[in-house]
Amino acid sequence: MHDRTALIEMRIERFVRERLAPAVYRARQPLDIQAWEAPGEPVTFAEARDAAYRPFAIGTPWGRAWGTTWFAVSGEIPAAWRDAAGALPEGTVAELVIDLGFTAGQSGFQCEALVWNREGAPIKGVSPFNNASPAAVDADGRVDVLVEAASNPDVGSLFTFEPTPVGDPATAGDAPLYVLREMSIGLRDLAVWNLLQDFRLLHGLIAELDATSARRATLVEAMDAAIDAVDPEDVAGTAQAGRDVLAPLMAAPAAPSAHVLHAVGHAHIDSAWLWPVRETARKVSRTFSNVLSLMDEDPEFVFASSSAQQFAWMKEHYPALWERLKARVAEGRFVPVGGMWVESDTNMVGGEAMARQFVEGKSFFLEEFGIDTEEVWLPDSFGYSGALPQIMKAAGARWFLTQKISWNETNRIPHHTFRWEGIDGSRIFTHFPPVDKYNSEVTAADLAHAERNFADKGRARTSLLPYGFGDGGGGPTREMTATIARTHSLEGAPVVKHSTPREFFETAEAEYADPAVWAGELYLEFHRGTYTSQLRTKQGNRRSEHLLREAELWAATATVRTGAAYPADAFQRLWRLVLLQQFHDILPGTSIAWVHRDAERNYEAIATELEQIIADSLRALVGEGDRTLLVNAAPHARAGAPALGIAAAPGARDVTPRAEGSGFVLDNGIVHAVIDARGLLISLVDVVSGREVVPAGQVAGLFEVFRDTPTQWDAWDIDETYRRHATPLDTADAVRIDADAVVVERSIGESTIVTRVALAAGARTVRLSLDVDWHEQQKLLKLGVPVDVHTDRAASEIQFGHIVRPTHTNTSWDSARFETAAHRWVRVAEPDFGVAVTNDSTYGHDITRHERDGGGTFSLVRLSIIRSAMFPDPGQDQGAHHLEVGIVVGADVLDAVAEGYRTNLPARVVTDAGEDSVAPLVAIDAPGVVVEAVKLAQDGSGDVVVRLYEALGERTQARLEAGFDVARVSETDLLERDVDAAAVTAVQGGVVDLELRPFQLVTVRLSR
């Protein structure tokens, strides 16, 4: 037989384009339109309902950047569409059809709208690929709705990464962005629409099948015959005939060995990104309205949504929508997942904050719906900390889902279903959907890719398919669910079934009882610049985390010691705001200027309120008098003040530098530091051992500026090619002694860097206080510390412990890990000597090994200080910044941990105190066991909750002693629910014996 496949495919494409798609609506009737533009930020429905509207015509421009235009839309179904009883023709439905002037950009990155009825209840959202809405027709056939249209600018959906002014309302302009194209009522023909879905699926399937397969040839011929069955002059009247031709092919079952896809409706909505946080709440309302409307149409459809914050917005701002949502949650079709407050970053979020993501998220879902979410749903974060498995398990999670690792530039994780092992040995059942996206459109191409790509064939045959338009695109569409209905068993395609995350995970665990294990972090070989972008946002987060720790500690102490009121509501509100801003496009620094300026203002307000709580708590504790006290919220004693306590102790004094030759010397008997005339550290000696830190021919404290022009995502990426273009700042504008510090002034371009180098008496840390006034763009500033140790690995602090990474490039995995994240410290060491580098502000590091003069190698630790990308915020990181960096000479891991806390949690001095000391609420006798949090219980009982962890990576025994009368001791999960003891071995009154494995995280509840 002659092969006519190519010609038939051309015929199919034209038939769909020119006949089927235009015939979906038998007719359309324009509606009357009036408009009112909200003068500033979005307004309530009540305000919009009562506003003064003006006539508005199709073809009229509308919508300034970030504005809101309300359209009052009214009319009626034409009498010609209805029979004498007022009924529409069989097989048709009337619905609103709206085109706001959608552009060629992606859904979710441009104008969107929410349709409201006149009673103030949302009906459905409108977006480019989901622009029909129920018509809300009354008994007389009339339509009367309000359409809240958001003229969000397209900041960069085509991802050309060009600087744009529209990310800041101050520079976005007032010109209308869109032209209204349609607001009508359409008569949709269900037979034509269904034939269109048949054609799209089968045509897509043809493209995926082998060219020599019988199934493909059969499909091609049948579709050709179906076109013949449809009269081009009467598509509506003959569409069913076309469907009848295809019916036998649609009924052919899938192969028994076909891959099984559990389709879970989803809408990944970034809690901020190329739009502000306030717009995210509206995006969620539109998407949830779409989802609830689709549930009314399709009884099989199931939708899963993460981020308790997004549910909380609905409860607060959209009560009618909230009630509909709760009903669907109760029946199991609208499924809360994830258990976190937001889908946060996991590389930079601190340990206690990571725990609180689950505490607040899971608590919200438990309180509102009675659901204990056991799956962690985090598809889009930029890499996953090795501490996460333990934290998830401590929150009661059983399963983990992510997707982003499929973006790796170099290496491919060899599994899609596996057990992930964290730094403490905890393992959690994990799945990467092999469709390689978290917003599938359920095309034949997506389904085929998932089946082909699945890495665990032979041992398993099940994967999860998250589908739906995200970021305000409306989530799943009826076209997507129509494809699922057609592929429940279809020859040539994998089996697709509506499912829930729980059903998928239970099925996957049952069929794959002994999956492979991946140990350690899930490092994303991409988006490495997120550890450094938007320094002020990162500083605000770091400072907020430590202030919250302090405030909870002193407030709890004040409550127990004096009966002062514990500000639980304020703490929850402030924690939730901090958690929101840990979202994976806010903390990583990848949002528009608006988002980061909002975050900076929020952090200022958070700091102000927490400082007041701390001041009030301390005053309640120390009273009024003439004493001066040192307040130590850190988990290690310092300057005579006990850990977590207050004592009359002098603060540390910095040694006075002295000039020597052309340079300067700092010496406290522990560390001897020499600074040359260029302001560079040419020698750092550990006095007791005589070890020199700075390798021969090298200098420490050297700033380097690199060209920073990544191939793709500006604020997200650092490409390895940056290393080819280094400018060392090895000359100084001035070097001088100022009080107890050596001050070094440098400049590059329009920017200046002032460094104060100081050394405290009795300390082994050389402190570098940096004041950077930055006005460069597309430049990366790094600070280098070469260390004369021969090692092939470096330790970096992460949540509740540290991770050891190779510094060599033996494998492609090692080579791709050229920029890494650490929290407060990194350390390189030989068995008997090490050096740590601490920081108070940023997270990006590169740690490499180099040939040493005289033989062997030395390690180079470089801290990424600042970046200046131009997309999506062309003003990123411009202006003044202050950072603290420490070089800890002769540091073991305990020294690194303690100095990391000292740098980030400085002691306070309280004057005019009446007491001479305040004993800690709790004390621990093992220095490697760190008390991370002391707080009162979430349930308001007044119980004291202590969170601690083993920080050195060693098995250890410790004794926790309460400084108050204790009635009961229990070990709990993160949500403070009793669990079987894993660390508590004995209890006697307020004394608790503990046995901890390396990096174990423990929560202990002490009932007063």
Active site residues: 380
Give helix 308-317 / helix 351-369 axis angle, nearest 10°. 50
Nearest to 638 by CA among 920, 996, 225, 281: 920
Please, are residues 1006 and 969 in contact by the beta-carbon 8 Å criterion? yes
First to last CA, the chain: 88
- Classify residue 6 by burial, with Cβ atoms within 10 Å: 0-12, 13-18, 19+: exposed
Question: What separation in angstroms does the CA of 175 have from each of 63, 166, 168?
Answer: 8, 11, 15
Residue 293 corresponds to which tokens in the numbers above?
Answer: 């409307």
Query: Residue 396, by phi and psi: left (phi above 0), alpha (psi -120 to 50) or beta?
Result: left
Q: What's the one-letter identity of residue 574?
A: L
Please, are residues 150 and 279 in contact by the beta-carbon 8 Å criterion? yes
Spatial separation of the C-alpha atoms in residues 143 and 97, rounded to whole Å: 12
Spatial separation of the C-alpha atoms in residues 113 and 98, rounded to whole Å: 9
Q: Where do the H-state alpha helices sit in 298-428? A: 308-317, 319-330, 351-369, 388-394
Spatial separation of the C-alpha atoms in residues 861 and 786, rounded to whole Å: 6
Please name the residues in contact with 652: beta carbons below 8 A apart, sequence gap of 6 or more: 638, 639, 760, 761, 762, 763
Return the bridge partners of 183, or none. 98
**What angle (nearest 5°) sits at the alpha carbon of residue 897, between those of residues 893 and 900?**
135
Give helix 190-208 / helix 214-229 axis angle, nearest 10°. 150
Q: What's the one-letter identity of residue 671?
A: V
Residue 603: half-sphere exposure toward Cβ, Cα within 13 Å: 22
Please, are residues 49 and 129 in contact by the beta-carbon 8 Å criterion? no
Please name the residues in contact with 798: beta carbons below 8 A apart, sequence gap of 6 or more: 347, 385, 386, 387, 423, 521, 821, 822, 823
Nearest to 396 by CA among 430, 364, 446, 355: 355
Spatial separation of the C-alpha atoms in residues 404 and 386, rounded to whole Å: 16
- Give the count of beta carbons closer than 10 Å to the beta carbon of residue 330: 12
Maximum C-alpha span of the chain: 106
Please, are residues 729 and 704 in contact by the beta-carbon 8 Å criterion? yes
Give helix 319-330 / helix 277-297 axis angle, nearest 10°. 50
Spatial separation of the C-alpha atoms in residues 161 and 382, rounded to whole Å: 19
Spatial separation of the C-alpha atoms in residues 357 and 359, rounded to whole Å: 6
Spatial separation of the C-alpha atoms in residues 684 and 682, rounded to whole Å: 7
In a 3-state reduction of DSSP, which class is residue 738?
Answer: strand
Q: How are beta strands 671-675 and 681-686 bridged, if at all?
A: antiparallel
Please, are residues 445 and 437 in contact by the beta-carbon 8 Å criterion? no
Spatial separation of the C-alpha atoms in residues 74 and 794, rounded to whole Å: 67
Nearest to 706 by CA among 538, 569, 846: 846
Please, are residues 269 and 107 in contact by the beta-carbon 8 Å criterion? no
Spatial separation of the C-alpha atoms in residues 526 and 946, rounded to whole Å: 37
- Classify residue 232 by burial, with Cβ atoms within 10 Å: 0-12, 13-18, 19+: exposed
